[in-house]
Structures are given as C-alpha cells and as structure tokens.
Structure 1
Amino acid sequence: MAEYVSSNVAPDATGDLLALVLPKAMSQRLEYIHFFAQVSHESGFKPQSENLNYSAAGLRATFSKARISDAQCQKFGRTATRAADKVAIANTIYGGTWGAKNLGNTQPGDGYCYRGRGLIQLTGRANYHALGANYEVNPDLLLTPAGSIAAAVDFWTSKGLNALAATDSVSKVTLRINGGDKGLAERKALTDKIKKIWPA
C-alpha cells in the first residue's frame, strides 16, 4: 500500500514495518485509509527533513510577521544570487516566544535542531521529547525507516487522529496535522484513491 500510493518512493521494507506497527495503533478501515493518505501527502512514506529553501517572498507568504519580520525575510530568504539561510530561517520561524509556547523550543538553535523530520514532519523539541529521549538526543532517528514510522504512528495516536478519521473528514484530519488546510485538495484525492483500492 505505502509503495503504491507514494509512487514507489517508500524505502524497502516500509510495508513490512507498517504491518508490524500499525495494527497496534489502529483497527478500522477509515483509520488506515486516512493515515495512508495523509502520510503519502506529507512525505510519500520516504523519511525526510524539512526543506526550508524559502525565497524572501515565500517566507512572507507562508509565515506571519509575528513569526518573521520583513527584514528577516529579505535577509534569510533565497535570492537569484544567494542560497537560503536554512538555519536562520528555522531558528526564526520556530524560535522565540512562539516556538517556546507551541513547540517547546527553549534553547538557542532548537528551531533548526528540531525542524520537521520523518513521515509527518515532526517539529519542535517538545514533540521529539514526547516521542522518547533517544529522539530528543538524536533527532535524525526520524530519518530512518523504523524511527520515522514509530514517530508517525505515535503522532497519529497522541493527536487523537483515529477518532477524526472515523468521521471521514479529510479537512478535520488535515487541520489536526498541520493547523490549517495546506495541501487539502491532494489529501482528499489520495483519500479517494485509497478508498477505491480498499473498498468497504
């Protein structure tokens, strides 16, 4: 399933790992369907680190002025002659008062250290800590197949996503995952695709 819905980009043995882990976290058809659709959209079941390759305009369009100022967008964003300063971007958008309150990023450099990783782009020191001490100490465990699957399933259950999946509302599940509706059209399309190959 993972390989099929993610255009065969999932690492080898992803299916076997999912078969071991998922039955401990979910049991209903809609729970599986929404999990596969959301993770397919987020990462294609390929563990990855957040890109952060924003242009100045991209930063301004994506994040509020409370998170990053116009001057910082211009200073850190990618231009035709300069690469994006990914470390500074992450430490700015995931740091400060907002980062401490929402992500538990309380130390200098936490924004970049605990940037999005894995299958559902886990972000923030508090979320890494909640997953386990090993992940807080070594965040790149989320870039391994086993670590990324464990993190995605833990995130799914800790956020109560099985209950939302049971309502069959892609918008509600998406809101819980990313706080908005980013990528909603593709998430809906993936959900419909999986329903067709996994009929009731």
Structure 2
Amino acid sequence: LHPLRRVGARSEGRFERISWDEALDEVARQTRRVRDTYGPAAILDCSRTGSSSILHSRVVVQRLLHMFGGCTELWSNLSAEAEVFGLRHTFGAAADYKKSGREPVDYVNSRLILMWGWSPGDGHFGTGTLQYLKWAKQHGVRILCVDPRVTTTSRQLADEHVTIRPSTDAAMLIAMAQAIVS
C-alpha cells in the first residue's frame, strides 16, 4: 500500500507513487493553505465513523483540528447524519437520535426491514443490531437488502437482495417515490 499523487487533470486518472513523508507533507501544506486562505471553518471534520478504535475516534481528530485553529463539525457522524437531520427537523432541535425510536422490539414487530447499503454482519457496531435482525427473521419479518455488494448480512438474512449499480441509490429512491406517489 503506497500513497499516490494525481498528475495531470482529474479526468485523466493518472497518478504517481510517492513516499509517506511526501504524502504527509502535502496534506499538511494543503490543510494550512485552506486554513490560511479561507479560515478554519473551511475545514470539515468528517472523521467520525462507527469505529470504536482510539486511533479513529472523534476526540483525537477534534483535538488536532482545534489546536490547528478550529474546524466545522457535523451534528453527528457520517453514518447517522441524515437520521439526525431528519429527527431534528421532525421532533425539534433537541431530539436525541440515540433515544428516538430504533428500539429492539421495533425489529421484531416490523413487517418489513429494508437494509439499504447496510450490513451489520460485516462490522462491529456494538449495538446488538445483527442479533435483533436475526430475531426478526425468526419471527417471520421479511428482510429486503438493497446493495451493490453481496454481504454477510444479506447472505444470512435477506429474503430478497436487489443488486444496484454503485452510485445509483438516488435514482432508485426517486423511482420508488414515484411508484409510491403514483
């Protein structure tokens, strides 16, 4: 695994191999350039994911960016940002997405679970979600998976797996909305 630097225009897709030191220097140089040119608010902290690793935690990156002069932060993390946005606009700005719905009984009492690009069987979420899905399946809940990948979860649990091309999610959602509205 080696870092690459783009050479030529973006559309050309040409890269050259560089050292890790060169890559780190380039990231530092460009980050300073953005901060100095546009201010610290132009740097968006998108570091948070479902990982519980200390090397990938929110606190470490936030400390670095705040020592660097600050940054723009998300309400939540990339994996739950749309959920947080929707909840806050539905239930009010103070809504806590961790306490709003998604109770374990919701899985078992559902008639259909739609897993869209989501496979709790392929990662560690620490939430017991995979077990709840297995219980739902045992209780006869239909599980539909929409994902370009065949995943551990879809192989084990999906009644139907709709394989879509990568980056066509929005088109499929629009088509589904049209079918529902029509």
TM-score (norm 1): 0.23
Q: Tell me which of the two structures has the higher relative contact order, counting C-alpha pairs closer than 8 angstroms and 6 or more residues apart.
A: 1
The structure carrying a bigger helix percent of its residues is 1
TM-score by length of 2: 0.25
Q: Which has the greater radius of gyration?
A: 2
